Structure 1
Amino acid sequence: MRCQPENPHQVYNWLKNKQACLLCDEPADAATAICTNCEAELPWLGGHCQRCALPLPDSGLTCGGCLRNPPSFERVEAPWRYAFPVDSLITRFKHQAKWPMGRLLGELLSQHLLHAFDEGLPRPDLLLPVPLAGRRQRQRGFNQALMLAQWLSTALQLPWQDAWLQRVIDTPAQQQLDAATRKRNLRRAFALAPQSRVAGLHLALVDDVLTTGATAESLARLLRKAGAARVDVYCLARTPKPGD
């Protein structure tokens, strides 16, 4: 770290700061806090469902779940499978307030999305972070989805709005629940604020992990019923099917 030693009120000089990789502590090769070797070894998603991003043996396929019951969202964009070390980074970001780890993942997600836009993915009009249950937000002190949306907004030059989606029922934590229980938990859990204006807009929900897709489906259905033209989902990681 370089400061200004001649100044009695020392100021951190970001321009002269040399980043270290957050995974191996070796010097980072670029502006992001990860070295080339560690970035290459992240659990990149690879083949996946072109609708919900479920990991599959090949790209360009649609999973059986999306064929039987097409979701209300159009497409999920996620760079990684929910596996080590991404799962550890996300957990430390969410539950231990290790914000630099979240910021690193958010920067890499923005790079992924910029590449997807170049490849033809339509740019949304607005980013909407998934709202966190009030009790958990008070315990945690922040909403990780909102922080991701703010970082993505800067990198992608897209506006964000955190007042339109509301969590009106404080549902139990979803992590250890199966898909059916998650869906039951989320019935009537969300609502649109009276001032929301989603009609005709292409919206992108922002969250950290997509597991069963129950939360994304509930919110996307709500937005589509209110007139949204399209809903996509941007997240850091997608979980595989149990047992895969």
Structure 2
Amino acid sequence: MNWRTLIEDVCDIIYPPANTCIFCNQQGELIVPYSMCEHCWDTLPFTKPPLCDICGKPIDSDKLRICHDCAEYSRSFVKAGAVLEYMPSVHETIYRYKYKGHSELAKPLGLLMAHVVSRVAWPDMDVLVPVPLYYERLRQRGYNQSALLARYMGYELNLPVLDKALYRCRDTKAQATLGRAERRANIAGAFDVKDAKDIKGKTIMLIDDILTTGATADACAQALLVGGANAVYVFTLATGVLK
């Protein structure tokens, strides 16, 4: 535990957080430190096998090893995983966190991500790298949701977080408004490495809030590999469900 975590824990004692579940908004006894009620813990769509061996999305058959997207498109990252399927019960919480200024949700969500990822058979990671925002979007939002998640994951997993390793070298359209092919074209070449010596030879876990088509993760991973990273894995709070 570092000094920032200690200060936050002391603040939680002096100013206790609202006794409200971050997913269903019901008051009552919560599972600490995830600020989640037992009902949501039991009923939320946590990812479970069968999953694509590459992107980590749920697939329909135990006989399949990879989904049709990963069969069609080569990936720059080795493997991706996520805590939750991006279903309606998950959408509202992520939307509040990402777009409505509720940065306080970063701590329980980031700790939940750390809890889940520590139970998956990943290779040893050297560093966590969050997906960056373009500077204008960061100024408007006030925080990078992926960087905050990575920060709390790093605290819990005792891993360094390189939140300046990647940067967006150009602005892009919002990915949510685009189709699969458009997403890949929109995000291609949008990222670059700030200082290659920070990532050279390292095995990196890229952190983001949602993985949909994987286009953003691919573009980030490609930039990191070009910059000298050994390998890139991806972990997100939620993953889209294949249609």
Q: Do these two structures clear the TM 0.5 threshold for a shared fold by scoring above it?
A: yes
- Bigger CA radius of gyration: 1
State the Cα distance separating 1:175 from its structure 2 match.
Answer: 1.0
Q: Distance in 1 between matches of 2:39 and 2:14?
A: 24
Whole-angstrom distance in 2 between the partners of 1:124 and 1:90: 26
Deviates more, 1:100-109 or 1:159-168: 100-109
Q: 1:139 to 1:224 in 2, by over 3 A?
A: same
Match of 1:168? 169
Is residue 41 of structure 1 aligned with residue 46 of structure 2?
Answer: no
Percentage identity across paired residues of the two chains:
32
Residues 1:99 and 2:103 aligned together:
yes
- Alpha-carbon distance, 1:199 to partner: 2.2
1:85 partner SS: helix
What TM-score results when the alignment is normalised by the length of structure 2?
0.86
Q: CA deviation at 1:30?
A: 3.6
- C-alpha offsets along residues 29-85 of structure 1, whole Å, 9 cap, x if unaligned? 443311222111111122321210122124672112323433110111201111122
The C-alpha deviation readout for 1:103-146, integer Å capped at 9, x for no partner, is: 22222111101111xxx311210011101012211111110011
* Structure 1 counterpart of 2:13: 14
Cα deviation, residue 102, structure 1: 3.1
Residues 15, 37 of structure 1: alpha-carbon distance in 2 compared, 3 angstrom cutoff? farther
**1:1-244 matched pairs, under 5 angstroms:** 14=13, 17=16, 19-22=19-22, 23=24, 24-46=26-48, 47-58=50-61, 61-116=65-120, 120-194=121-195, 196-241=197-242, 244=243
CA deviation vs aligned residue, 1:179-198 (integer Å, no higher than 9, x gap): 11111112221111145432
Q: Find the aligned partners of 1:198 and 1:13 in 2 and give their Cα distance.
A: 35
Q: Secondary structure, in 3 states, of the residue corresponding to 2:200?
A: coil
1:5 paired residue number: none
Give CA deviations for 1:144-188 in whole Å, capped at 9, x if unaligned. 011011011001100011122110101111111111111111222
**Which runs of 5 or more structure 2 residues have no equivalent in the other structure?**
1-9
The separation in 1 between residues aligned to 2:127 and 2:164, in whole angstroms, is 12
Counterpart contact for 1:43–1:84, Cα < 8 Å: no
CA 1:84/1:197 → structure 2, altered by over 3 Å: closer, same or farther? same
Residue by residue over 1:1-36, the C-alpha shift from the partner in whole angstroms, topping out at 9 and shown as x without a partner, is: xxxxxxxxxx96618958543322121144331122
SS of residue matched to 1:212: coil
* Letter matched to residue 127 of structure 1: L
Change (3 A) 1:68 1:184: closer
Q: Letter of the aligned partner of 1:138 in structure 2?
A: R
- Given residue 168 of structure 1, which amino acid in structure 2 is its aligned partner? C
**How many residue pairs are counted as aligned between the two chains?**
229
Whichever residue aligns with residue 52 of structure 2, its letter is: C
Give the TM-score taking structure 1 as reference length: 0.86
| In structure 1, distance between residues paired with 2:11 and 2:201 | 45
Give the root-mean-square deviation of aligned CA atoms: 2.1
